[in-house]
Structure 1
Amino acid sequence: MHWIADLLAAVGVVLNGIPQGIMAMALGFAVFPTSFSFGLAAIVNGMTGSVAPISFQAESLALTGHLGHNLRERSSIILFGASIMLVIGLTGTLSKIVSLLGSQIMGGMMAGVGIMLAKLALQMTKQNRHCGWLSIGLAIITYILTKDLVWTIAISVIGTSLYAVLVEHYHEQLPAHVTARKLQLVKPQFNLKILRGALSLACLNIGANISYGLITGQMTGLKPNPVNLNLLTSTQALADFGTSLLGGAPVETIISATASAPEPVIAGILMMVIMAIILLLGWLPKVGQYVPSTSIAGFLLILGAVVIFPENATAAMHGPLSTVAGITLVVTAIVDPFTGLLTGTLLKFVLPLLGLGV
């Protein structure tokens, strides 16, 4: 009866990813080409036995939406960010980058991302104050009662959507390119803004691949950790590289409950196949017409302020590089992850040359 547990775990992760898929549509990403990302990752995991699936990730979506102002800019950021990550994955330099920077600086960058997400959640309430604050209120109450992110996102998104439909009579016609079940090329562009965005997305994914990937591996209970970070990075980059040219959404590393299933590889593959089918058949856009983008605000606030920030800030502030890590945190929160990581790196290596402590 293992297959029932595997299927239930897969369905649970799919339900967790649907609201973030709706967030992707709100940012203008097409869902039909995104299905191929899930299909590619399912094939790779089946061939290699990887336990770490990929899916919609709120952090990368929020960052991409913040750094790019239209679909072309956002798709270009994803394309060049994926190119950077593909090189890192294929050359096996992910662990070397982390060793060079150190866990404190990486923790500072990730903690800064947590603040960015919380700030974005509050900014989203300006689009629709009633729905935004209702989402935040429901998310806070649900997380306090359950300490569970799946329930938090489910209750806050469903509750806010019901209010929007029943009270405000919300019904939004999504753009044609979002719902179209065909492939449309999005011509990439390149400038300094795109480059900075791509580097920021790559920095976020470096931290996420290490933390989320290893956590997913730990959930299997197997030792040594069964997650190959270089394979995970290469798979995620390849998935984003192709669909970004077609206006598809980014799919990244997640902490997946499928890792705790009896057959974690099979459960992860099932999850990605189910998500691919949902996108191919156009079911997600039908649901998305009745879900306001502000419904995700509560989840982003909890994710950033309660889940990501405290753990990473603690790691950043305990050790000899606490000052540098603190500056990395602040710069990331104010500017972007790449600028924060670059600032921390320069301070770590330049200050000692000047005879100054770090």
Structure 2
Amino acid sequence: MTQSSEKISQQYIDGGVIPADLTGQESVSKTYVDTQLSARDVNISAAASAANAAQNDINSHTNNSGIHVTPENKANWESKAPGTVQNTINSHIADSVAHLTANEHMKLTGIQPGAEVNQNAFSKVNDIPASSKTDTVTIKGGVGIAVTSNPNSKEVEITATGSSTPGAHGSSHAEYGADPIPVATETDGGIMSAADKKSHNNMADPPRAKYTTATAKPLPYVTWTTPNWDTKNFDTNSFVSQGNNGEIVINEAGTYLIQANISFSANPIGFRNILFEKNGSYLAYQTNNAKNDSGQIPSIRSSLSALEQCEAGDVIKISCYQDAGASEVMNINAFSTFSIIKVAGFS
């Protein structure tokens, strides 16, 4: 069976079977076709090898865990990256140690070149000036003088040791000091005690008080009546106080001069009397006739004084009496006064 070369070629192209008993031109076509088929097979084999190599590369790449990210890693990175960086930035911005304030910048700018840290030093001790920033002054004790120091309390104590005249001395010679000088007595000299000083001051300016009455006091007929000393003119040391019903209370012991001046209303009849009592007992008494020997009516004014030793808490009472035949009146203000002054027994 013979076929044209075109048909044989077409059979090859279409994948048909080429007859083996071809001759002449048909045999030439067959040879050509066989050559093409061999070349095709080589190409197919090469393509298959390349495809296989490519597949192996793809599989190797796919299975390489070192160059791929798991979903878990990806989620972890995506959650951390933005927040962590921002937190670090915020923390750095808020770090007051790593940054300077405006005031700190100004302070550093104001530091002069060559400036140094302040020194714990004295510029001068008495008349001795410091010759350097860390100069030292030493206090030296003379003969019989010891100098001790206490670094903790920053104190230096200078004490006479008694190793030379005039002998040991304490830090104070006062009455209750470390080395007191004896208090003066009637036979031996010495320093004045605190009690003597107070007594001396009191003698120069003794405690004293004066009272009057601002309200006219009725004086019933033949009745002892106590005035109300309701107005205090002065009381320098508060050593007396007002008691009940016009009484005066002594607040500190001592010797007192007590005096009263009573002004009665004018009446020529009878007598005018004043009585001092201490703690309810008789102390001093005075009587005055309203008319003198010439029949004249004198100034109806009676006075009484007494010097008395009193204790703290003693009560002094002043009473008035008249027998003019009717009720009288004790005149007020400066006309009737009570006064008391301490004259001895100062302590």
Which bracket does the TM-score occupy, shorter chain normalised? under 0.3
- Whichever of the two has the greater Rg, that structure is 2
Higher relative contact order (CA 8 A, sep 6+): 1
Normalized per residue, the structure richer in helix is 1
- TM-score normalised over the length of structure 1: 0.15
- TM-score normalised over the length of structure 2: 0.16
